[in-house]
Structure 1
């Protein structure tokens, strides 16, 4: 907490203001230490170390980014170091101007905030300015919170000091205004931010121009803006431009708007099937339209009631607001759900709910949002964001007794809100209108990340009353504290300029928040103290706000926290649940390892499990990726470990109910995508959108798994009607395999006795072989692969350079086991499918041009063996290709060589015709057939999963999520966008 020189933070405030109000100006705020020690700088309280950051291109192994000898605290993860170094350090790499230490980055930002605070009268004394400096530094250093990305891009540099990530623009029904829209969006994207706007003022294609012709309509003008967004990278980095396009449900072109992305998705699939590169960042994706924006329909209560009652609804002309067409409301709502089912767009925004919580209605309605739908306020305004890492406020006494540190949380919220408001004093804006309005209304967007991790760690299921109660309490405390600080700041430096005109409405909304807090249900020992602190905060909001006014028109939102969430080391983004129980952790020096989320053992301890049982459950999860059938885990505790995806995925309405629990305590809205399974129906999506309205949400988006095109790792050949010539195994009622051998009709029938035991086929004394030297993650070794003269691989020898080491011994024993298996008839492709993608150290870069990265030595070995000994069709199905084949695929869309090689390529260019079958031999004179052993395992027919799919299921990765255009890692959803956990690249998140 803080206070001014005229009294305590909870006491009276002077009436004068720095900005010219009546009376003497107060002397500023007195700051209180939260984490720091007088006389000790935060940098001196941590251990620092030097690291190398090298990030490679997944396609060819070339280096995307390299900066060596960077300085970070020793407790920062490899991911966080990589992302902050590559995204936020300023200056050209390799020059003296390049930042090389986290200290330089934090100092660049914090010193700018401190200097502006002093210049604008925020601090009572230089000592208070120093406390602000130290506390802000400590919080950033220890990943307690983070400003949004534009702050790190721009503050303290020579470029414009753009601090806002979220912008709302406006466009009118004139060509001049439309062209201004294109220009303004481009400038916002260039500064590392995103923008949204409502196109409903533009007349429809069903209305006339003054010249007598038909208007183009807003959908046609979306094309030009979409092309601009696809060209401009945010902040000059690899962040893609982010934008939102909104159209009112009563606009005459609403049906065309709903269908835009559905048609383009069909085009993407057709082009993908024809061999074009349609992945995110692919060469050919730019040939389709409307891919750079999130689309949302703005619905009214009147429309939703018409849907509910099966009534007609009028579409109104933009020139005179007269009804020019009536439609069946339910049928239009159905078309929205069908489009969302097909391609995840459009989302939905609930207009009357949004404006019911609007603090400044006298200055205009809220008609649009930022790209991810969390910032909603006046047109031509902006909002800078900051997010707190909730896991930093969970206290555990080591014996399973936990508490959420509500008092410390509130103090950090006060610190962050103060800093965020100071930033508006020095910030630059892309247009004069946005600058004027933002300074007049001073919109802020404090939020949080890691809610999903916090709930699991405290033993709460995400979709539970207890989980919703804790989330609601934290959100209420955050917003109540933010507005309380805003009222305190108003006493020192004055309320926002638009407050006087909107005072009654602003106070009405504050009472709505306080009333919602008063009726909220308390559930347990964790959330009750939080709710009590929130109640005290809202009481102070009403008292101080009624006296001083407020410094900020809005205070809080829940953003997706894409890149900044990774920089803070968060397991979950924004309000999202945990994605999966198992994830990959990058290791210093390269490589990665698969680990069970650290929140899992914390949750088990909270639930009362002893150490030995926790270890057994964690081991089960590591092996299976799920808690199902974990030893000793009670079935009633399964729900605690439910995630966004996987075997026990949270139900879609579980996501909606969590949003409803927090929405009444937010100034803005929530960036949240409600994930639904691939099997979800259009009716279920209709129900989700309808429930969102009934539960009082402001906006909602859905994403059906596999509804959008992702890059396939392999594809089976189309139209293959050839007759199989190999042995086939068919099952019997008892599960015993029987062998059928294809033979020409003239072959004489002979009784066949099948021996069901494997027979070893040894190699001759002289055998052909290949010796390969290799390096994987710095570990050197040699592999000798010997073959049968006419029948494939028969043995493998592995020697590591460090003789006598444990690794060398294990590799020697492993190669013997594999060799024996090969000689007993285990197919090489079986080994390849089982051992590729296995992850353990050493791992990382190799010296093999065909296999540039390996997850482990075993992964490398079997990729190399597949390339050397398996036919193209078999290894292509496993996703294993040579460097030349990958290059060819990039250039032609096909992995196969065409022309003189006498192969037949299908339209996908991913599979190769089988060779012609040799003539069947005559029937054997001996009625004995030695068959290869066959392992019967796996799911039922029609449910088979590839290794890649199994990994995705365990890791909670959507099968159709795009590959990162920088490093090739499967991306993950963050709000309405995608984020790469490998390098921090986003598809448009703030």
Structure 2
């Protein structure tokens, strides 16, 4: 394969167009004819319930595409009604629909020197897409080449001014973006605070937090009206806004409500029927902090909050105290995140056109108000040669082609608002990025949290963005710079030189880093020279997005900048079923680390059994770090994530979508330190999530609320609190029950249950293993714990939520026609209990159905027969549209707890250490000890996993909010 270079723009003169040389494709063979194609049946089932939710037979994909990738592309991206001739059925049709639109537009708009160059461009893109070298973002696959509006952008930023007209327009614009399945962010800091007066009446303003309620309700309504995932939105407030404390504590207060309502028996889980009674749940909140504020935090000095109308300081606060409130709120509920205003705007290429005030929902796109960005991501592992060197020339050529295509798309793209369309066409912001960094580093034997890992990641990111800007300058020499370039030329050139200087300052840890860094420096130098001659076609070039769905399309092991999630994964098999397997990168890493074949196999077998490398035979402890993952026994420390972000940030136009995960035991001070280090290390944005913070106890301190004027004797007195403690409701001496025999992967057992007179479950007994065995004893103790919890009023739904999807052996096929596959004994037991004792509405929210209900759904699109549905209360009747997921009116009545109001009595509790005792439900959750680390997929019922600041489903590709 001969590698040649494009000659466009080399002299700074405007040529007739870009010359495109073949690098990936061959002149005598079409890319489709180089691979073997096969026909498959794509059948998507609910992982929890087994019902068929999608089926398309005889679809065509290359034989090396995984079942998972072909399933996601078929269900997500093929257009046309199922069962009609208009339905796409081959990857060839999908790629042709998109790529031919790009090449035709590029030729018509003067990008290419000749039709032959346009044809080569088309075949080069086709080859890379077929071979999974990169992917455009989802809106491209959804819309390009169809009768739908040609929406190509996934990221949007809106704006709102201090007027009712602007605020109501914000609601409208945000709603239209949500309706289209995308998300948006905006900064509310222009809206005057609740401490300022209205011009017209002299009354007090409502403040931005009050208007957030309306926007939140709108987002929730649009979601329940037709979407299968929560609305994706980001709300930002500047740290010097007078309402900043109210903003910071808003979601933490709502979490307190959630805990109180859940303890009272209401269904407050994600998607629960009662969760809509709390507010502000549809947005990510972030505080935009200034360098001035951060310095005040360090110095312990006051900080002024400024009126929006006059700019004068109307209140001073203790910076450290406000910083503590931010960290405490994030400890309690993961909000707010951080956006570092000084760093963001110091790397801004177009400051003469306005400041950067906000971001998209995932915080990777940061640019002007009322703008958008389309994304594409490269699969880094594809550029690793057989000798484990990184192919810088091939990577450079790929970036050239992709960034050209991304810019061409703006020529034909449609936008949700006129203002967004105008700004995007005038500034042409792009967001090229990558996936599979975690897999690349592991394959090379480099730890994610290591100097070597960070050095290579930084060099690759630098090469990507430097090449993108150099190509942008070439395109400017052909079709002109972006419209806003002239007034921002000096600032844009300054930022280009800052990127180049950061590349020069990179430390080289290994030969591979040196090679990539040198290639990157070459690109930055060319970008600087050519940019001065031609200008740049694009105001921004790169971001690091979550790459959830498109990452699965490319068969990536890791998404975005994330490390590997786990060393063992489940792989779908042709014809259905799945198998558990150790990541292929593990053995490649062991080879790079010098282990022989016998030792490698022993380690792989150990990982397959244990899920981690700790104690693996023959593995040196010094090499453990190579196999550290996002979760599990060897989880990467929080600062390991922060340091990786800091390594690559200087080489991105935008920012990074990533959440730093912390253990449940993390303290407020640790979260404050993560946020502080993010500022010191030069990040643009940072979000955190403390495990189980959404359902854990609120932070309490005996010193809170202490009056400094009280005597020491008064302060030492024990605090007296009123706690409402439930009483145990025992079962009657004679009660109805049932015994169920079951088999999971050949392991047999018996479950006996007892119920109250009204039919509610009150006790369970599990018989497993021989009498007197350890397993038998453990199951007896577990049964007692669950039974006591049920009798104290812990809802059965809570147990089902916690124990379904637990994975451990034995796991596999069962003898139960309603539950064909179970991931463990407990997974089976609690799914069976849900079917036996929960009503349809409650089971539906958990995605658990009988075999008959699933069969009925396949035939009619509804889980209930017409007679059963008609018997439901009107407010809870299901929608029968075949394309809809299960949707039940969220205003349904609350299912009463086993405990009546008369059973609850106030108890005075002396607290010598200032910590309130557990409520009964919280004590039971401590016994359960299972953190709810990710939601279930609203489309197929599978457990989702983190991807950036969102969640993504490995089974079907659905996301929790990020496109």
TM-score of the pair, normalised by structure 2: 0.80
Match of residue 389 from structure 1: 379
Evaluate the alpha carbon distance shift between residue 185 and residue 2 of structure 1 in structure 2; reply closer, same or farther with a 3 A threshold.
Answer: farther
1:237-284 per-position Cα deviation (integer Å, ceiling 9, x unaligned): 635421110000000111111111111222223333344443333333
CA deviation string 1:338-359 (max 9, x = no partner): 0111111100111111110000
* 1:585 corresponds to: 571
What is the 5 A alignment of 1:448-847?
448-709=434-695, 821=770, 827=776, 830=779
1:834-880 C-alpha deviation (Å, 9 max, x unpaired): 99977899967x7845314345xxx6xx689x8xxxxxxxx55xx64
Summarize the Cα distance change of 1:31–1:263 in structure 2 as closer, same or farther, 3 Å threshold. same
Aligned with residue 238 of structure 2, among 244, 248, 253: 248
Match of 2:357 among 361, 367, 375: 367
Within 5 Å, give how 1:13-412 maps onto structure 2.
13-15=12-14, 26-57=15-46, 60-209=49-198, 210-233=200-223, 238-397=228-387, 402-412=388-398
Residue by residue over 1:504-552, the C-alpha shift from the partner in whole angstroms, topping out at 9 and shown as x without a partner, is: 0000000000011011111102211100100110110111111111000
Query: Residues of 2 paired with 1:414 and 1:546: CA distance?
Result: 19
Mapping 1:864-879, distance limit 5 Å: 875-876=829-830
- Cα 1:233/1:882, change in 2 over 3 Å: closer
- CA distance 1:179–1:596, shift in 2 (3 Å): same
1:291 to 1:943, Cα distance in 2 relative to 1, 3 A: closer
Matching residue of 1:811? none
Partners of 2:231 and 2:961 within 8 A in 1:
yes
Q: Indicate if the aligned counterparts of 1:198 and 1:368 stay in contact, CA closer than 8 A.
A: yes
Shift in CA distance, 299/127, structure 1 to aligned 2, threshold 3 Å: same
Are 1:673 and 1:701, in contact at CA under 8 Å, matched by a contact in 2?
yes
SS in 1 for 2:22: coil
Is 385-394 or 641-650 further displaced after alignment?
A: 641-650
The offset of 1:891, in angstroms, is 6.9
> C-alpha separation between the residues in 1 aligned to 2:399 and 2:372?
20
The CA deviation at 1:42 is 1.2
Deviations 1:440-459 (A, max 9, x none): 10000000111111111111
CA-CA distance at 1:288 after TM superposition:
2.0
Contact preservation (8 Å) 1:223, 1:290: yes
Partner of 1:885: 837
Deviations 1:219-248 (A, max 9, x none): 111112122222335997635421110000
Cα shift readout 1:360-390 (whole Å, capped 9, x = no counterpart): 0111111111111111111111110111111
Distance 1:175 1:614 in 2: 66
Q: Distance in 1 between matches of 2:63 and 2:222?
A: 36
Q: Write out per-residue CA displacement over residues 957-983 of structure 1, whole angstroms, 9 at most, x where no aligned residue.
A: x64322222222221111111111122
* CA apart distance, 1:820: 9.1
Displacement of 1:93 = 1.7
1:824 to partner: Cα distance: 8.3
Seen in structure 2, the aligned counterparts of structure 1 residues 282 and 959 have a Cα distance that, compared at 3 Å, is closer
1:427-446 deviations in whole A, cap 9, x for unaligned?
Answer: 00111111111111000000
**1-side partners of 2:613 and 2:658: how far apart?**
26
Q: CA deviation at 1:884?
A: 3.5
Q: Is the 8 A contact 1:165 1:192 kept in 2?
A: no
Alignment correspondent of 1:850: 818
How far does residue 709 in structure 1 lie from its aligned partner after superposition? 3.9
Cα pair distance change 1:644/1:824, threshold 3 Å: closer
Asked whether the 8 Å contact 1:106–1:137 carries over to 2, the reply is yes
How far apart in 2 are the matches of 1:283 and 1:835? 19
1:883-922 aligned at under 5 Å gives the runs 883-887=835-839, 890=842
Separation of aligned partners in 2, 1:94 and 1:853: 29
Change (3 A) 1:627 1:721: farther
**What is the rounded CA distance, in whole Å, between the counterparts of 1:500 and 1:708 in structure 2?**
48
Does the Cα contact within 8 Å between 1:192 and 1:234 map onto a contact in 2?
Answer: no
Query: Is the Cα–Cα contact under 8 Å of residues 495 and 552 in structure 1 kept in the other structure?
Result: yes
Change over 3 Å in CA distance of 1:826–1:410 after alignment to 2:
closer
Contact 2:193-2:206 at 8 Å conserved across structures: yes
State the Cα distance separating 1:888 from its structure 2 match. 5.3
Does the 8 Å contact 2:220/2:230 carry over to 1?
yes
Separation (CA, whole Å) in 1 of partners of 2:770 and 2:194: 70
Q: In 2, Cα distance between the equivalents of 1:265 and 1:786?
A: 39
Shift of 1:691: 0.9
Q: 1:980 aligns with which of 953, 956, 959?
A: 953
Deviation, 1:823, is: 10
Aligned residues: 824
Q: Is the 8 A contact 1:462 1:640 kept in 2?
A: yes
After superposition, give the CA deviation of every residue in 1:877-923 in whole Å (9 maximum; x if it has no partner). Answer: xx64252424357079999xxxxxxxxx998669xxxxxxxxxxxxx
For residues 80 and 232 of structure 1, the distance between their equivalents in structure 2, rounded to whole angstroms, comes to 30
Q: Report the secondary structure of 1:967's partner residue.
A: coil
Secondary structure of 2:385's aligned partner? strand
Mapped partners of 2:523, 2:774: distance in 1 = 72
How big is the shift at 1:64?
Answer: 2.1
- Indicate the larger mover: 453-462 or 225-234: 225-234
Residue 609 of structure 1 aligns to a residue in which SS? Answer: coil
Structure 2: tracts of 5 or more residues without a match: 697-724, 753-766, 784-802, 849-893, 900-922
Once residues 50 and 355 of structure 2 are traced to their aligned partners in structure 1, the CA distance between those partners, rounded to angstroms, is 52
2:749–2:768: 8 Å Cα contact kept in structure 1?
no
Tell me how far apart the structure 2 counterparts of residues 224 and 649 of structure 1 sit (CA, whole Å): 40
Instruction: Provide closer, same or farther for how the CA distance between residues 416 and 311 of structure 1 changes in structure 2, counting only shifts above 3 A.
Output: same
Distance 2:897 2:344 in 1: 47
Specify the SS of the correspondent of 2:402: helix
TM-score with structure 1 length normalisation?
0.78
| Contact persistence 2:12–2:534 (CA under 8 A) | yes
Check whether the contact 2:433–2:545 (CA below 8 A) recurs between aligned residues: yes
Note if 1:961 corresponds to 2:947.
Answer: no
CA distance in 1, matches of 2:740, 2:520: 71
Could you say which residue in structure 2 is the equivalent of 1:11?
A: 10
Q: Which region of structure 1 is more displaced relative to structure 2, 575-584 or 534-543?
A: 575-584
Q: Distance in 1 between matches of 2:807 and 2:450?
A: 36
Question: CA RMSD for the aligned pairs?
Answer: 3.4
SS in 1 for 2:389: strand
User: Alpha carbons of 1:771 and 1:485: their partners in 2 closer, same or farther (altered >3 Å)?
Assistant: closer
Bigger mean CA offset, 322-331 vs 577-586: 577-586
CA distance in 1, matches of 2:777, 2:155: 54
Distance 1:273 1:40, change over 3 A: farther
Q: Distance in 2 between matches of 1:383 and 1:893?
A: 35
Higher CA-based Rg: 1
Q: 3-state SS of the aligned residue for 1:537?
A: helix
